[in-house]
C-alpha cells in the first residue's frame, strides 16, 4: 500500500505549484484571462493546478471564439460567392456568427475574479483594498446611528491588553476558540495555513483539522467566537 504524503509534503507540493503559477507565462496568462471572466470558472480556477488552468482555459478559447461559423462563412463565400449571397442559410450563418461574437464580448467585459485565496493562488489573502472595504463595512454596522466616531482602534486596544506576565489576556471564553490537542498536533509541522476559501468553521478544532489557522479579520471565514484574545486573528496556532 503506497505511503500517504504527510501534511508537510502536501504543503511543499502546493507551494511549488503556487510558485510555478506565479511565474505565469503567455499560455497561463491567456488561460487565466478567460477563466477569471467565464461564469462557470471564475470562482473555481483558483483551486486548479497550472496544467489544468492552461488546458481548460485554451479549450474555452476555442469554444468561446466564433471560429466555427467564421470558417464556414469564409469557405462557403470563397468557393461559391453567388450561392452564398442568394442563400437564406448564409444569413442564418452570419446571424449565428454575430450572436456568438456578442456572447464572447459579454464574457470579455465581465469583471475578472482575482487569483487570490484559492488552494493554488499565489496570493493567499484577499487584496488589502477588499479586506479594508469589508472592515469598514463591519465598522459602520457596529456604530450607533449618527455616530462618526472611529471605534475600531479603541476596541482593538481594549481586546489586546496583556497581563503582567506577558501572556495575552483571554477576552473570549467560547470553547469553540480552543482547538483540541489532537487538532493541534495535525498542524504542528505546518508552517503556512491552507486557504480558507470562505468556509465557515464551527470551531477551531474543525479549522485545524482542515489545515487552516491564523484566520485574519477581514477574511470571510473569520468569526469573533473563534478569536480567543480579540486581536483580530481567529484560531491562532
Q: Which residue ranges make up each domain of the chain?
A: 1-120, 128-140+167-234
Nearest one of 134, 152, 131 to 143, comparing CA atoms = 152
Is the pLDDT at 234 greater than 50, yes or no? yes
pLDDT digits (tens, 9 = 90+) for 190-231: 889 999 888 888 999 999 999 999 999 888 889 988 988 888
Among 96-100, 169-173, 226-230, the range with the most confident prediction by mean pLDDT is: 96-100
* Helix residue spans in 42-159 (DSSP H): 50-64, 67-79, 81-86, 88-108, 128-142, 152-159
Q: Copy the grid coordinates of residue 120.
A: 493554488
Comparing 2-11, 25-34, 64-73, 147-156, the range with the smallest average pLDDT is: 147-156
**The pLDDT value given to residue 141:** 66
C-alpha cell at 230: 480579540
Radius of gyration of the chain (CA): 26
Which pTM value belongs to this model? 0.48
Residue with cell 503556512: 192
Task: Report d(CA 121, CA 124) in Å as an integer.
Answer: 6
Amino acid at each position: 500500500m503506497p505511503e500517504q504524503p504527510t501534511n508537510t509534503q502536501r504543503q511543499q507540493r502546493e507551494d511549488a505549484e503556487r510558485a510555478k503559477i506565479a511565474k505565469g507565462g503567455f499560455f497561463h496568462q491567456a488561460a487565466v484571462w478567460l477563466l477569471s471572466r467565464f461564469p462557470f470558472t471564475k470562482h473555481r480556477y483558483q483551486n486548479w493546478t497550472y496544467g489544468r488552468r492552461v488546458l481548460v482555459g485554451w479549450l474555452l478559447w476555442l469554444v468561446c471564439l466564433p471560429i466555427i461559423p467564421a470558417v464556414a462563412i469564409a469557405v462557403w463565400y470563397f468557393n461559391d460567392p453567388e450561392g452564398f449571397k442568394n442563400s437564406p442559410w448564409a444569413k442564418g450563418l452570419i446571424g449565428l456568427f454575430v450572436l456568438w461574437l456578442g456572447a464572447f464580448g459579454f464574457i470579455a467585459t465581465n469583471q475578472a475574479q482575482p487569483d487570490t485565496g484559492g488552494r493554488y493562488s499565489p496570493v493567499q489573502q484577499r487584496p488589502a483594498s477588499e479586506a479594508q472595504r469589508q472592515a469598514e463595512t463591519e465598522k459602520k454596522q457596529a456604530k450607533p446611528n449618527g455616530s462618526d466616531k472611529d471605534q475600531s482602534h479603541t476596541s482593538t486596544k481594549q481586546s489586546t491588553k496583556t497581563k503582567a506576565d506577558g501572556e495575552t489576556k483571554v477576552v473570549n471564553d467560547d470553547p469553540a476558540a480552543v482547538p483540541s490537542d489532537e487538532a493541534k498536533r495535525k498542524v504542528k509541522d505546518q508552517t503556512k495555513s491552507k486557504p480558507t476559501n470562505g468556509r465557515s468553521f464551527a470551531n477551531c478544532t474543525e479549522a485545524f483539522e482542515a489545515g487552516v489557522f491564523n484566520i485574519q479579520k477581514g477574511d470571510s471565514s473569520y468569526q469573533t467566537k473563534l478569536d480567543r484574545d480579540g486581536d483580530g486573528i481567529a484560531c491562532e496556532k
